[in-house]
Amino acid sequence: MQKEEIIKQINAALAKEFELDESMLTPDADFVKLGLDSLDAVDMVIVLEQMFKIDIRNNYKVGDFGTLGGLYDFVERLIKQKNA
């Protein structure tokens, strides 16, 4: 899957799950500034794990991503690892 398609799918999922305007979903967007809290963070992981069939929880280390751009990169890496 191309990075562009990953970004598109992540943005669509987050917009739906958290009722966000997709125009706010830019690579430098900070999760806290998007209005998401710790419960949302866990639910975001659940949504993305099921969508991409990846294991975020057991591969995540604190600091892996703090912005949406970081999340795009992280998910892309896990998808590549899965397909390797």
Partner 1 sequence: MSESKRVVITGAGALSPYGVGVDLLVKSLLEGKSALSVYPALKGINGINSHIAGVAPDIDFTFIPRQYRRSMTKMSLFATMAATEALKTAKLESSPKDAALYLGSTISSMEAWIGWAQKYLENHLEQVKTTAVFQVMNNSPLANVAQALGIKGAGFGVCNACATGLVNIGLAYTAIKAGLIESALCGGTDEYHPMMTGCFSMMNAASSQFNDEPAKSSRPFDKDRGGIVCSEGSGIIYIETLDNALARGADILAEIIGFACNTETKSISHPSSDSIIDCMEAALKSAKIAPKDVDMVNAHATSTLAGDEEEAKSIAKVFGPSIKVNSLKGHLGHTMAASGSLELIAISKMMLEGKMAPTLNLDNVDPACQGVDHIRTQAALNINTFVKNSFALGGTNASMIIRRYIK
- Which of 18, 65, 69, 70 binds partner 1 (CB under 8 A)? It is 18
| Shortest Cβ 40–partner 1 spacing (Å) | 8
Which of 10, 5, 7 lies closest to 48 in space, CA to CA? Answer: 10
Identify the residue whose tokens are 């890496």.
77
**What values do phi and psi take at 24, rounded to 5?**
-80, -15
Under rule CB under 8 A, residue 50 binds partner 1: yes
| Shortest Cβ 73–partner 1 spacing (Å) | 23
- Which of 2, 4, 5, 19 binds partner 1 (CB under 8 A)? It is 19
Identify the residue whose tokens are 């899957």.
1
